[in-house]
């Protein structure tokens, strides 16, 4: 039951457009439970594609999946001082089980460091047990005050990697390796360009030594933190007494990392590529890469056209393309086009009696342009080519949008403020390193430091002074308003 009303345009109200698109494409729905969403099949299928790609990348880099309990004893959370401060205020707490009040309340995991390090302390004895490279796909709960479908929900789905290493250097390498994996996934699969870099102290993960992040720019010029990778140093190892015997017989605490991405990525995909007609899903992550819509008038035509469409669908599937044949009765082709467009299917093939006679199909692209009649022979190769081009074009378009909405090296504090309070976007400027400056900028512009960018994203000439104070800059920073 797709909604047939046109979407509010992005230009008119980006936020309304986003919510309406999700409803129209049936990606998700509000639930009767405060702040919790229902992920509908069309949305969940995108998450499944994301999971498949990421999981393969995690395994290629030596990680194994495991599963740790949903519940965490409240006392565990308190063992790492910064961690409890960061997470305790937003926990859901189980106080009763099996009809009785519990002796110690259980927290529904907001993240699993504490329960995992409790297990690591049992499993890790020697340098031979290291590195220990685990990942878990699961649900987590954070009691958010203001929620938005996919972007910020009380419960969300994610993966959390947790690794333990013998040296500080190995932990730092792992942290950056997984940041790189995330970046590659976001760019190559989601067609979503990101800026990577380190978070400032005020934005880092509660309990981490250093947090790195991938920051993407949405079409409304706001930043989305799309994934984070934390070097936890020995903080959790010390809190949970995770020690190991080194190769030369000494005793040391392990060095650890954690990293995660969530169903928020689905929101990022929508806001990166969607248009006023609905979702545009990059071909590599689309549940259906191609939809075939048969066209007929008489019953005789119907039988012939559906038979041919079915044969084409089977051939394309055999070639490895994800194809859906929409042979619903009682629905006009135009209505089907409209529905699949809203749902973001990259390519549509229309097949009527005339196409059949000519041994051709009509090809329409979700990203626009004229329809094209293409021969049935060699169709799968043609479609693979179309998908590659579309995947690439979506990435390039997103990157061009980001660059057009990026200001590097504003000449003055006023220009900096005007940019952020105006159309907005990413602004690169020098920062003196003072958290008070971050706080002041946030107050005046609602913008925060998204990252201190990695070398490849930095401006050719490092800014000498802080854009806010004029003091010597300790780093270049990227500021933006963010989700």
Q: How far is the CB of 15 from a second copy (least distance, A)?
A: 23
**Site size for a second copy (CB under 8 A):** 59
Q: Which of 21, 22, 25, 119 binds a second copy (CB under 8 A)?
A: 119
CB of 7 to a second copy, least distance (A): 20
Cβ atoms < 10 Å from Cβ of 97: 10
Question: If we measure between CA atoms, which residue out of 438, 412, 433, 416 comes closest to residue 425?
Answer: 416
Binding status of residue 279 toward a second copy by CB under 8 A: no
Contact range with a second copy by CB under 8 A, out of 90-98, 214-222, 311-319, 383-391: 90-98
Q: How far apart are CA 188 and CA 191, in angstroms?
A: 6
CB of 400 to a second copy, least distance (A): 34
Residue 330 falls in which region: left (phi positive, over 0), alpha (psi -120 to 50) or beta: left
* Min CB(345)–a second copy separation in Å: 15
Q: Does 99 bind a second copy (CB under 8 A)?
A: yes
Q: Which CB atom, from 53 or from 94, has the smaller least distance to a second copy?
A: 94
The reply to whether 245 sits near a second copy by the rule CB under 8 A is no
Q: Which is nearer to a second copy, 127 or 395 (CB)?
A: 127
Q: Mark residues 13-42: x for contact with a second copy by CB under 8 A, - for none.
A: ----------------x-xxxx-xxxxxx-
- Is 285 a binding residue for a second copy by CB under 8 A? The answer is no
125 binds a second copy per the rule CB under 8 A: yes
Q: How far is the CB of 85 from a second copy (least distance, A)?
A: 13
Inter-residue contact 347 to 289 (CB < 8 Å): yes
| Min dist. Cβ of residue 134 to a second copy (A) | 7
Q: Does 4 bind a second copy (CB under 8 A)?
A: no
Q: Which two tokens stand for residue 124?
A: 């890790």
Q: Does 95 bind a second copy (CB under 8 A)?
A: yes
Measured in degrees and rounded to the nearest 5, phi and psi for residue 22 equal -60, -40
Q: If residue 37 lies in a helix (H) or strand (E), which one and from where to where?
A: strand 37-39
Site membership for a second copy, residue 303 (CB under 8 A): no
Cβ-based nearer residue to a second copy, 18 or 47: 47
Which residues, other chains included, contact 112 with Cβ-Cβ below 8 Å and sequence gap of 6+? 68, 72, 136, 138, 140, 160, 162
Long-range contacts made by residues 187-191, C-beta under 8 angstroms, separation at least 24?
Answer: 187/395, 188/284, 189/50, 189/53, 189/282, 189/284, 189/285, 190/50, 190/265, 190/268, 190/269, 190/272, 190/282, 190/285, 191/272, 191/273, 191/282, 191/284, 191/391, 191/392, 191/394, 191/395, 191/398
Hey, which residues between 147 and 176 contact a second copy (CB under 8 A)?
A: 154-155, 157
Give residue 237's Cα distance to chain centre. 29
Handedness of CA 274, 275, 281, 287 (dihedral sign): positive
| Footprint on this chain of a second copy (rule: CB under 8 A) | 1, 29, 31-34, 36-41, 44-45, 47-48, 64-73, 76, 88-99, 105-106, 108, 115, 118-119, 122-123, 125-126, 129, 134, 138-139, 141, 143, 145, 154-155, 157
């Amino acid at each position: 039951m797709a909604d047939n009303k046109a979407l509010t345009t992005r230009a008119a109200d980006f936020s309304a457009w986003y919510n309406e698109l999700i409803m129209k494409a049936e990606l998700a729905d509000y639930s009767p439970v405060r702040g919790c969403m229902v992920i509908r099949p069309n949305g969940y299928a995108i998450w499944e594609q994301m999971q498949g790609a990421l999981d393969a990348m995690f395994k290629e880099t030596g990680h194994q999946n495991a599963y740790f309990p949903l519940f965490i004893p409240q006392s565990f959370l308190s063992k790492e001082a910064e961690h409890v401060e960061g997470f305790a205020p937003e926990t859901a707490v189980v106080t009763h089980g099996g009809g009785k009040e519990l002796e110690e309340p259980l927290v529904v995991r907001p993240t699993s460091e504490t329960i995992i390090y409790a297990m690591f302390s049992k499993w890790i004895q020697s340098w031979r047990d290291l590195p220990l490279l685990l990942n878990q796909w699961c649900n987590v709960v954070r009691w958010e005050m203001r929620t938005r479908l996919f972007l910020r929900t009380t419960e969300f789905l994610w993966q959390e990697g947790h690794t333990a290493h013998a040296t500080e250097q190995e932990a730092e390498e792992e942290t950056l390796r997984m940041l790189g994996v995330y970046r590659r996934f976001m760019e190559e699969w989601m067609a979503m360009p990101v800026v990577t870099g380190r978070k400032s102290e005020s934005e880092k993960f509660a309990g981490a030594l250093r947090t790195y992040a991938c920051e993407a720019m949405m079409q409304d010029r706001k930043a989305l933190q799309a994934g984070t990778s934390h070097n936890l140093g020995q903080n959790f190892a010390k809190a949970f007494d995770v020690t190991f015997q080194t190769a030369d017989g000494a005793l040391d605490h392990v060095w650890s990392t954690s990293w995660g991405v969530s169903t928020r990525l689905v929101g990022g995909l929508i806001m990166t590529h969607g248009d006023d007609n609905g979702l545009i899903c990059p071909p590599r992550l689309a549940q259906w890469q191609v939809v075939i819509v048969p066209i007929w008038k008489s019953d005789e035509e119907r039988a012939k056209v559906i038979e041919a469409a079915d044969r084409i669908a089977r051939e394309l599937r055999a070639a490895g393309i994800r194809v859906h044949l929409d042979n619903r009765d009682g629905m006009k082709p135009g209505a089907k086009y409209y529905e699949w467009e809203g749902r973001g299917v990259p390519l549509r093939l229309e097949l009527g009696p005339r196409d059949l006679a000519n041994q051709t199909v009509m090809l329409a692209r979700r990203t626009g342009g004229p329809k094209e009649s293409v021969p049935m022979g060699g169709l799968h190769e043609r479609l693979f080519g179309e998908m590659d081009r579309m995947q690439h074009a979506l990435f390039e378009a997103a990157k061009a949008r980001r660059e057009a909405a990026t200001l590097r090296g504003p000449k003055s504090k006023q220009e900096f403020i005007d940019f952020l309070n105006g159309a907005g976007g990413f602004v690169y400027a020098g920062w003196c390193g003072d958290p008070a400056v971050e706080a002041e900028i946030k107050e005046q512009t609602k913008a925060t430091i998204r990252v201190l960018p990695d070398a490849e994203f930095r401006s050719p000439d490092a800014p000498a002074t802080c854009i806010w104070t004029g003091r010597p800059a300790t780093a270049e920073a990227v500021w933006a308003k963010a989700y």
